[in-house]
Structure 1
Amino acid sequence: MHSAALYLIPVTLGDTPVDRVLPVYNNTIISGISHFIVENIRTARRFLKKSNPEINIDSLTFYTLNGHTRPEEVSDYLTPLAAGFSVGIISEAGCPAIADPGADVVAIAQRAGYKVVPLVGPSSILMSLMASGFNGQSFAFHGYLPIDAGERARMLKNLEHRIYAENETQIFIETPYRNSRIIDDFIKTCNPLTKLCIAANITCEDEYIRTLTLKEWNKVKPDLGKKPCIFLLYK
């Protein structure tokens, strides 16, 4: 019997088999939880059923957490903890609270003094950094670049300066249908000798991770389609 806690439950990236990237221990924890905070109930139910075919989905309680969730609702989602029942947070992909709205729930749980337990699972940000050959001692994740072209170029120039001045790896994501655009922006804005690592569909069958200079990428632009990607810049 585990003491009540807020468990951060990682999920697979794409259609990767559960047993390839998630420990059996995670299922042991999941089987003891009846309350889940999720971004999307349908995909959360699908993940739980894939992880544990024996699970009784209809006996579970789901709370939706997205951009429309009010702060007071988030606090209510943690009331089972006060009654001694564990709560799980499930992200749409990878690890909860990393580039993910789950961080707000964790902050409330920490302030209230509840036990918070992160479970082991795949993080596309860290896995891409591991495979890039870039500096893993000093790095910054920025999420999305600005949409406005001028702001985007200014931010890229500033962040590229940090690469050379502080030896800091810069990490970005982009909406998949704009993958080609962000590569073009890197090539157009940054030093041709600055290196770019593109990591697509990490842990999936068609995983693609490659590091080249921007000058080299300009000659061999990959067709990434709408694959989820991580982009890393370094010298």
Structure 2
Amino acid sequence: MQSTTGTLYLVPTPLDFGCLPDGTPPAPLTQCLPASTVVVAARLTHWISENAKSTRAFLKRVDAVNGLAAPLQAQAIVELPRQAHKKGDHTPAAEGDSQAKALLAPALLGHDIGLVSEAGMPAIADPGSSIVRAAHALGLPVMPLAGPISLMLALAASGLNGQGFAFVGYVPQEANERAKRLRELEALALKTGQTQILIETPYRNTALLQALLQTLHPHTRLAISCGLMLPQQVTRSALVTDWKSRSLQQGLPLDAPAVFLIGR
């Protein structure tokens, strides 16, 4: 018998959200998302979103390529709880998982639902994990769609170990604690060969880069990908000593989202 429940689709979005200069039109959606993903997004009418405004902007871009199944004003868009934005929702918690199940109620009535973040793949360096857990708990099919994931793009472009790696998120902002954490990550990378991947809020990217150059061993490899899939995207990968001697930080668009990688 055909299931009467809907499917949860993990819908990736372009990496340019909030990164383009005022008045600059975004690139056509077909340049960053495969047609199969756009087709699925176009037929969905129920969404769980990190931010409703960015989701509506995304759906306008979808509509320009493949007409939406329902007008934008008729799309059912609900936002993840504020707590998921502030502290993440990757750690199981009774209250959060209960809220996630409630957001999936339309799927129990047969509606397919799209989970979407502001940029990239939801639930990877973005909220959404609680929704995926809840879908599995409710017996709903979960289907990730193809599209950009900045962490994997940066890893592939770094020349660092892609067979063993860890995403460690953000490091502390306080200088001494940040240096301590960076030394811990470096020691792990050098001992095991496991690439360490970290991120920072764009306005703190410059401070993090300076801390990395001041803290890491000269022969540790550091890679940085800035503005992935944007016109100004740059990836540089070199030993720390080369970063310093060749001033490789010059010209990096550090005001754009960036991914930092440490390894050997």
2:122 aligns to what? Answer: 96
CA contact under 8 A between 1:16 and 1:203: conserved in structure 2? no
CA contact under 8 A between 1:180 and 1:224: conserved in structure 2? no
Kindly indicate whether residue 123 of structure 2 is the aligned counterpart of residue 136 of structure 1. Answer: no
Kindly indicate whether residue 11 of structure 2 is the aligned counterpart of residue 9 of structure 1. Answer: yes
The 2-side partners of 1:188 and 1:100 are apart by 29
Computed over aligned residues only, the root mean square deviation of the Cα atoms, in angstroms, reads 1.8
SS in 2 for 1:170: strand
Kindly indicate whether residue 242 of structure 2 is the aligned counterpart of residue 216 of structure 1. Answer: yes
The CA deviation at 1:12 is 0.5
Task: List runs of 5+ in structure 2 lacking aligned partners.
Answer: 17-25, 85-94
The CA deviation at 1:99 is 0.9
SS in 2 for 1:131: helix
Kindly indicate whether residue 37 of structure 2 is the aligned counterpart of residue 26 of structure 1. Answer: yes
* Superposition pairs of residues 1-235 of structure 1, within 5 angstroms: 4-14=6-16, 15-53=26-64, 54-55=67-68, 56-68=71-83, 71=96, 72-219=98-245, 220=247, 221-222=249-250, 223-235=252-264
2:90 aligns to what? Answer: none
CA contact under 8 A between 1:66 and 1:101: conserved in structure 2? no
The CA deviation at 1:27 is 2.2
The 1-side partners of 2:142 and 2:59 are apart by 20
The 1-side partners of 2:28 and 2:82 are apart by 29
Q: Name whichever of 207-216 and 117-126 sits farther off.
A: 207-216
The 1-side partners of 2:222 and 2:189 are apart by 12
Q: Name whichever of 51-60 and 65-74 sits farther off.
A: 65-74
The 1-side partners of 2:82 and 2:214 are apart by 33
CA contact under 8 A between 2:223 and 2:260: conserved in structure 1? yes
- So what's the TM-score if we normalise by structure 2? 0.84
Task: List runs of 5+ in structure 1 lacking aligned partners.
Answer: none
The 2-side partners of 1:82 and 1:66 are apart by 20
Q: Name whichever of 197-206 and 52-61 sits farther off.
A: 52-61
The 2-side partners of 1:201 and 1:95 are apart by 16
- So what's the TM-score if we normalise by structure 1? 0.94
The runs of 4+ residues in structure 1 deviating greater than 6 Å are none
The 1-side partners of 2:30 and 2:131 are apart by 27
What whole-Å deviation, never above 9, does each CA across 1:103-124 have from its counterpart, x for those lacking one? Answer: 1110111111110000000011
What whole-Å deviation, never above 9, does each CA across 1:194-231 have from its counterpart, x for those lacking one? Answer: 11111011111111011111122224123434110000
The 2-side partners of 1:184 and 1:18 are apart by 35
The CA deviation at 1:4 is 2.0
CA contact under 8 A between 1:39 and 1:91: conserved in structure 2? yes
Q: Between the two proteins, what is the percent identity of the paired residues?
A: 34
- What is the identity, as a one-letter code, of the residue corresponding to 2:168? H
CA contact under 8 A between 2:185 and 2:196: conserved in structure 1? yes
CA contact under 8 A between 2:195 and 2:261: conserved in structure 1? yes
What whole-Å deviation, never above 9, does each CA across 1:45-93 have from its counterpart, x for those lacking one? Answer: 0111101233310111111115336724322110011111111011111
